[in-house]
Structure 1
Amino acid sequence: MSEEKPKGLLSDWRVRIFIIAILLSLVAIQPWYSADEGFDTNLDYGLDLEGGSWLQVSLQGAVIQANVDSGMTASALVENIVGSPVEVVNVIPPSEGQSTITISLKTQASVTQSQLNQLGLSDSSVSREGNLSEITLYTTEQQLIATYLSEELNAEVIPYAVPGGVEYEIRTKAEQETVENLLADVGGSLLTDENGDKLYRKGVRTETRDLTKEILSEKLNALGLKDIPVRTVGDEYILMDFAGIDLTTAKEIAQKPGKFEIRIQTEGNNTKHVLYGDDISSVGVPSRHDGQWYTPFKLTLDGANALQEAAIETGAVNDPNSHWLYMYLDDKEVYGAPLSPSAASRIRTNPIYSWEASTGADNESKAQAEQLQIHLRAGALPVNVELVGSGQVDASLGDQFKKQAVLAGLLSMLAVAGVVYRRYGKKQILVPMVATSVSEVLMILVQL
């Protein structure tokens, strides 16, 4: 009977899988050596080991529920743009099942339709009778409150429907006393809950906190800093760790917006510049109506005029489908669409300040609308933030710790290997044990 030869290690499929796993781990870690940097890898050690800086910011804002006198509020808004007293003639409340308020005003000042369009209300008209301008506004109480507070506080104010009413998120620092004084000027006040407590709280809504975090992550990813964690702490704070980046650079990265641009198609695939991101005064929350998802935004006076001029000059008012509007963030196209027929008609005679970008009707379109909201901000945060904490970790401490950790690991492995060899005295037991320990370390490091 012939003696059966022992099989080699590589004939075992488990050993082959083991070796492949080790090789893949080495590829993922990407160890290399250079004369300048010495031995290095692709591992992300984090702030404590890599050194760098950290920032903690507080989200400034307030959330309220309030009411106002519609006539006084409309009068105050128009007075701000015409610089002359405005008298309330009549206020027609909404009919049953509707929300539109009709407000009639008059003033001795000369008022143009373009000035009224700047308010961003639903609709308006103006006519001149003798020495008086007669104004009619069609709006809602929510629009009036949001627009009034936005103008007075020079900040975005976003209304949100909640059970039993409407919440207004003020996206800047606004103390309760300041808000109450502004509301009192137009015959309004803060609402109260069932306990009689005024419906005012500092901070922002959870959705806004998450949007701020997403914008910061998007901006850092665009800069190639994908491994920087952006974490929320409650509803008021966001914490960022910048491994390997000094404190000055970290502040610049967090505060510097991207480059947003709108261009219009001229002939063929050629486009021309229309406006940059600083001509976008505010960006609203994506919403669905008429079966489509939309992202609303408003332009400044200069931005609206520039878009009107470009639309007329290129012929977009006559043939919108041949002259699309394109949006770019850091020179990368993020959106493109023609003017709607109604917008093309309106922009012939007056600049348009309030716009809506349509993305479609399905769930994917909703995600696109939310993404466009981020792009329109060009990395600018939706709320004012205050730096409440920062610090820097010396990289030399991390380097020292890494060397000590490697040395401690090697000594521990040698000690265990010595004990096992002394006990059993067989290399067949020692070598697989050490190899398994080393491979486990490599595979764990891949996750860093």
Structure 2
Amino acid sequence: MNVKDTIVSNWRVLLLLVFVAFALFALFVPGGVFAEQSTADEQAANESVQADDGGLTNLVYGLGLDGGTRISAPVVGVTAENVELTDSADPGTLESDVAAELDVEATDVRVERADDGSYTAEVFVKNVSTDDLAGALDSADSAADHGEVRDGVTQSTRDDTVQAIDSKINEAGLSGGDVSERSGTTPQIVVEVPDRGDDMNEQELRELLTERGVVTVVAYYPENGTQVNETVLERDDFESIGFASYDEQRDQHYVSVTLTDEAASEYQSKMNEYGFTGEGVGQCQIHDRQAGEFDFDHEGDRWCLVTEVDGEPVDAHSMGGDLARGMQDGTFENDPSFRMIVPSQEDAYSLSVNLRAGSLPAPLDFEKGEVFSITPALADDYKIYSLFIGLLSVLTVSGVVYLRYTNARVAAPMILTALSEVVILLGFVALIRMPLDLSHIAGFIAVVGTGVDDLVIIADEVMDEGDVSSRRVFESRFRKAFWVIGAAAATTIIAMSPLAVLSLGDLQGFAIVTILGVLVGVLVTRPAYGDILEHLLTDR
């Protein structure tokens, strides 16, 4: 038999060897298969992960095997569907009317146009019920009618929440963090942050997610003998935002910002009109930074620029002389950059993150959520236990198979073929950088068990009916066995598909690995084992 005939008759075995070689390459070669095509940032991230994991493989570990925190919680809110506006109203007017009726902040109300042309009205306050929103819409002059009022928020709001949280954890420097939506009766936002040794703990992550991050600058100034407040800057007014910084000479914690051209012109005009650039220069003195207290009940006139986060003041300071002169002569709008001063480095850090990431459209309801946290030390123990359980399952299956056949020519290829499935799956996982977790380990163990089951079916079918030295007889029996395992594989895939598609936490990872294992088995390893068995048992 020449080389060509050898390749043609053993192509299934050669295909298995190619898959195994490719998997080993993806597992152990530094940088992975597509290292040359990856960007510099991706390569740096990969090198960081490999360094954290010991550099032995290209596998990436999830929270259960690497440590970290996962918080899942639904979005707070109630929603009215099919809201109709009056002829003279617009979404902004309805938002203001509903906020006034419910006595909530305007930022807690959202009115959006739906695909069918109607509007949805959402309120993101925990103690507002569906009846409250329905009553507010009935009383609002800008609402003509509305449909069903239900608990929960729209898909658009959940998508915006996922995007905003993703920006927050990235701006906070939480490498490897992931944000997703878990479907179900009550959809939840799932935030996972792995522990890399210097990242925030569970409480700090919860605090980051608790803050809506609505940053405003409020002008506090006298008018007609009374002190008034007016919001003069919002996040959309900033063109660029710096990081948390500290000026040792002035003992100031601050964030450098630059306004857009339109906002700069309007801000300059208001500061001149309200007196901040004249008699108001240096006239604030309402904030005791050491005590962290604000004195809004004072005697005398005050001109203060109050920085608020989620409606709470974090700092109040007066207009500086240099900045005031630039606004008076009109040069400020040509270079609209200044410092937003805050009391501490923590406040500066929080302000920078909130400004750069943007605000959450709605808060999360942590009382209805779940928190999973694991330390790196415990995660390392889980790695060891997972490896031990995996080896134990292989040894146990090997022993049972050998006792079943007492024939090394049948048992040895069976075990090696089953192990090759695991190697191929690990290579695929390393290739796509899927974080391995405990649920995936359970899937690998299930793959070993189901794989050996199918191989036993093949061996029994071709050996239990007498002499199998004829190649034609072997192939006939093998086809019959393959139909059985093919039907079983189809049943498994159909049963696991809902778990793989739906966001059901750890069950999803188990289902994905199981389905991949079944596909690799039916398409690659089972046919290859059939060729090996045919070579060993028939007269070729």
Structure that is richer in strand per residue:
1
Output the TM-score relative to the length of structure 1: 0.45
Output the TM-score relative to the length of structure 2: 0.39
Structure that is richer in helix per residue:
2
